[in-house]
Amino acid sequence: MATRFNHPNYSFVIETTTQMGTHLCYWRIDQFVSGANQDEALTRVENQIAQHLREFMRWSGLVCFVTLGGRKEVVDIIIRDSEYEIS
């Protein structure tokens, strides 16, 4: 019996701040996006990320938002060449 593992191909970088806007950290979510219609699949994943962030903000009192999203390879390069420090 084979087990299939899907490798992430899309990444989101999220910034977390206090209610007053003080930067706390960046973190990253890597997702596997696939489907017959890539745009619809990506929209579903983006909606899931937004829902999770809303719930996290509701119970934590922090503010979170996606600052970067794209193909994993591109996000890797941007992170490597920028000032993003992923926690």
Report d(CA 41, CA 44) in Å as an integer.
5
Cα–Cα dist 84/52, whole Å:
22
Position 2 pLDDT exceeds 70: no
| Domain residue spans of the chain | 14-80
User: pLDDT for 19-77, tens place per residue?
Assistant: 999 999 999 999 998 877 888 999 999 999 999 999 999 999 999 999 999 999 999 99
Entry pTM: 0.84
The predicted pLDDT at position 6 comes to 74
d(CA 58, CA 60): 6
Say yes or no to pLDDT of 5 above 70.
no
What is the C-alpha to C-alpha distance for residues 1 and 78, in angstroms, rounded to an integer? Answer: 39
